[in-house]
Amino acid sequence: MPDHQNQCQNLRPRSCHCGDAFSTREGLSRHQEGCHLCPPGCEDSYGAGEAVQIHHETNSPASLPIHPRLLIQIPPEESYFPSPLPSPTVGNINDFSRPPDAEKGDIAEDGIGNGDTDLPADSLSQEIIRNHNENTITAISDAKNMFDDLTRAQMGTRAQADANAILGILERVTQGIPKSVKEASKMEPRDPSSTPTAEYILCNLEEAVQLFKDKVPPWMPVVVKGACEDLKTIEGFLEELKFGDILNFHDSAEILEEGQTVYAPETMKSEDALALFEQRRNLAGLAMNFLDLFGRKDNSTPKPFANNPDYSLMGCARDSNGKAEKPAIRDLISGMTFHLLATKGAGHLPHIDRHGMWTTALCEEGKKLWLQWPNLDLETIKSREVPHEGIAVLLEKGDMLIQPPNTLHAPLTLEDCLMTGTMHWHSSQLLDILLFTKAAVEDPSITNEGMAAQFVPTMRHILNKWKSGKCKYKWPPEKDMDECFRILEWLDQGCKCKGNCSATKSARCKCKRQNRVCDTRCHFSETYKECCQEKRNDGRKPKGVNALKRKAGEVVENQERDASRKKAMCRSSTRNRKAD
């Protein structure tokens, strides 16, 4: 064993499969650029730099290519310095022989799995994987250049403020390590930690369908190449948007107030917003990012989730199996299918989608660089600090990202881009859904949306069905049931008042009875600052906006009443004169 390994063996270094180990991800990445795996047919397992080229010229078939080692990662054994890889079979560098004691279809109790599944033979070619890696590295560089330019946008604009933050994040992310489905199926389960995983699964659609039929969902992101052939276009989608009257969007040209951290969306008539979008395309102006676009794509449920009851839990959680006969709150299930439409240069700062959702994002047209910090624990997310070890996942036309719940992420738009997205719950993850929802109430900065009004009744219905034992889903362990109900009751403690609670005298207001301020359990997606203001020095609460409006309304009402009285008096005087 090399001296370096002896020195680092107890330090859990990042190690390359050639045996060299490094204390930093950057050092490992620089090394792996020149560290190669011998091609199929070569009896030697490893080579590096010029030595491997000389070796192949003399000992291996000249027609066989040299594959970057970055394409292959296997879990370490007891030591952090794994033994050489077994010789790969000819034709697919990711095909490894099964362990002799592994049963077909073995799945770990709480992880992605510990054995092979019935996977299709036509997995991604090494050329596609290599091109994906190269394109990702190029995309990271392009993103750095683009957001560096945006730091010189007009002073005080949102574009300039966000660009500075995003550029700092881009300096700390890497392209990540793609794994085949077969490699991932052999990996041990991974508990959430303060350090995100660098791995993600790269596969084709058929492999993804098989992957999500397993007993336990994967714990790392999945990128599906060629996920859909029937793709929408931006031009066609813009025509569809003309049918609506208004559009909401974030405008990067917005001038921010000093210290402003919350961005209010703009609302315009559709024709005006779409005309502005056309003017801003391809970075001809600062970016626009449309919001609240409901799903318009036929059969939008991705094939990996289609006809899988464990992922359709949210849409099925209703009291009646018939059609809805009265209006109902639909702020949760209305987001099950959505669209993302943005011009080049749009970017989101790191955030987490609410309510523990599995999120899919199909790139219909354009290009996104999706920054991610997968598999973080709840405490790290609560810290509000973005970890250094993030990964950048490139999504091109036809690619689909399947993102695990509670993944910190920040999408960046490299080209004008249209995406179709869906959201799902998995029946085995109810406790995680509730824990992260509670955390988002306690610290609203964790997510970019407040709690849905539909969440508590929907989750109560699901928990009651689980408790009844009559519905056959992949439920969590029974020991988690009591804690799930306890968290749900806590989430249901909001006051649900329709207006400003600080002004109400009603004893029905839970917040007033318990002497607390309102939070996202109360007014859901709306925020009433008057409810959260501290008392003044004299012990009285300051007048809020609604109170001022009421006062102004009372003044106007009094003026109108006085004017009405004067008119009545004038009419009465006129009648009296006529009578005389």
Q: Are residues 246 and 385 in the same domain?
A: yes
Q: Are residues 507 and 464 in the same domain?
A: no
pLDDT band at 264 (very low <50, low <70, confident <90, very high): confident
Q: Are residues 333 and 199 in the same domain?
A: yes
Last residue of a domain, one of 54, 82, 110: 82
Among 361, 61, 29, residue whose Cα is nearest residue 174: 29
In a domain, 579, yes or no: no
CA 118 to chain centre: 29
Q: Does the pLDDT value for residue 393 go beyond 80?
A: yes
3-state percent helix, strand, coil for the chain, nearest multiple of 5: 35, 15, 45
Which tens digit of pLDDT belongs to each residue from 448-491?
778 888 899 999 999 999 999 988 899 999 999 999 999 999 99
- Strand 358-373 relative to strand 408-424, pairing: antiparallel
Lowest mean pLDDT among 2-16, 177-191, 413-427, 513-527: 2-16
Task: Select the more confidently predicted residue: 430 or 113.
Answer: 430
Among 83, 378, 407, residue whose Cα is nearest residue 221: 407
Backbone φ, ψ for residue 375 (5° rounding) = 65, 35
Q: Which residue has the tokens 């994987």?
A: 129
For residue 171, how many other CB atoms are within 10 A of its CB? 10
Q: Could you tell me the residue range of the domain that residue 390 belongs to?
A: 158-319+329-468
In a domain, 163, yes or no: yes
Among 220, 219, 188, 177, residue whose Cα is nearest residue 17: 177
In a domain, 281, yes or no: yes
Task: Select the more confidently predicted residue: 391 or 107.
Answer: 391
Max distance between CA atoms of the chain, in angstroms, equals 128
For residue 444, how many other CB atoms are within 10 A of its CB? 15
Q: Are residues 237 and 358 in the same domain?
A: yes
Q: Does the pLDDT value for residue 69 go beyond 50?
A: no
Among 394, 414, 438, residue whose Cα is nearest residue 221: 394
Q: Going by C-beta distance under 8 Å and a sequence separation of 6 or more, which residues neighbour residue 347?
A: 147, 162, 163, 166, 287, 410, 411, 412, 413
Backbone φ, ψ for residue 210 (5° rounding) = -65, -40
Contact at 8 Å (CB) between 100 and 93? no
Last residue of a domain, one of 37, 55, 82: 82
| pLDDT at residue 193, as a whole number | 82
Q: Does the pLDDT value for residue 398 go beyond 80?
A: yes
- Strand 266-269 relative to strand 246-251, pairing: antiparallel
Q: Are residues 21 and 163 in the same domain?
A: no
Task: Select the more confidently predicted residue: 48 or 297.
Answer: 297
CA pair distance 399, 224, nearest whole angstrom? 6
In a domain, 173, yes or no: yes
CA pair distance 560, 566, nearest whole angstrom? 10
Q: Does the pLDDT value for residue 80 go beyond 50?
A: no
Q: Which of 33-47, 175-189, 313-327 has the highest mean pLDDT?
A: 175-189
Q: Going by C-beta distance under 8 Å and a sequence separation of 6 or more, which residues neighbour residue 562?
A: none
Q: Going by C-beta distance under 8 Å and a sequence separation of 6 or more, which residues neighbour residue 18?
A: 35, 46, 47, 48, 69
Task: Select the more confidently predicted residue: 376 or 123.
Answer: 376
Q: Does the pLDDT value for residue 71 go beyond 90?
A: no
CA pair distance 348, 370, nearest whole angstrom? 10
Over residues 28-37, the mean pLDDT reads 58
- Could you tell me what percent of the chain has a pLDDT over 90? 43
Q: Are residues 182 and 237 in the same domain?
A: yes
The radius of gyration computed from the CA coordinates of the chain, to the nearest angstrom, equals 29
Helix (H, G, I), strand (E, B) or coil at 250: strand
pLDDT band at 572 (very low <50, low <70, confident <90, very high): low
In a domain, 197, yes or no: yes
Q: Are residues 445 and 519 in the same domain?
A: no
Q: Are residues 451 and 506 in the same domain?
A: no
Q: Are residues 510 and 422 in the same domain?
A: no
In a domain, 570, yes or no: no
Q: Are residues 11 and 65 in the same domain?
A: yes
Per-residue tokens: 283: 């970075």
Which tens digit of pLDDT belongs to each residue from 534-559?
333 334 433 333 333 343 344 445 55
Give the chain's domain count.
Answer: 3
| pLDDT at residue 386, as a whole number | 86
Q: Does the pLDDT value for residue 409 go beyond 90?
A: yes
Q: Going by C-beta distance under 8 Å and a sequence separation of 6 or more, which residues neighbour residue 220?
A: 112, 179, 184, 190, 197, 199, 200, 201, 374, 375, 404
- pLDDT averaged over every residue in the chain: 75
CATH for 212: 2.60.120.650
Q: Are residues 426 and 294 in the same domain?
A: yes
pTM strictly above 0.75: no
Q: Are residues 60 and 174 in the same domain?
A: no
In a domain, 380, yes or no: yes
Last residue of a domain, one of 65, 82, 99: 82
| pLDDT at residue 77, as a whole number | 31
| pLDDT at residue 84, as a whole number | 33
In a domain, 251, yes or no: yes
Q: Which of 98-112, 505-519, 548-562 has the highest mean pLDDT?
A: 505-519
